[in-house]
Amino acid sequence: MIRMQIAVVLGLFAAGALAAQSDAAKPTFESLDKNADGKVTLNEAADNDALFVAFKSLDSNKDGLLSREEFAAYKPQA
């Protein structure tokens, strides 16, 4: 019984660590929006390789900028 409880606790810890790692991998909109204009440019996104690669597909209105809503759709690969 105790082994099972330990296994459950370890499993929950591992799941929490993975979730925290996933959250840490995604930059915040504010950290990317260097000039605080409410948009992320391709130049601003260049600091994050994964976002830079995904930028074109996230830019749903094809204006060359990511709005907060467009950025919210960004899901970095683990």
What's the whole-number mean pLDDT along residues 64-71? 98
Q: 52 phi and psi, to 5 degrees? A: -55, -45
Higher pLDDT, 8 or 76: 76
Give residue 14's identity as a one-letter amino acid code: A
CB atoms within 10 A of CB 28: 9
Asked if pLDDT for residue 22 goes beyond 50, the answer is no
Tell me if residue 62 falls in helix, strand or coil: coil
Short-list 44, 42, 47, 43, CA closest to 57 = 42
**17-21, 31-35, 37-41: least confidently modelled range:** 17-21
pTM of whole model > 0.85?
Answer: no
Q: What is the pLDDT of residue 16?
A: 47
CB 39 within 8 A of CB 64: no
Q: What is the pLDDT of residue 6?
A: 59
Q: What is the pLDDT of residue 24?
A: 53
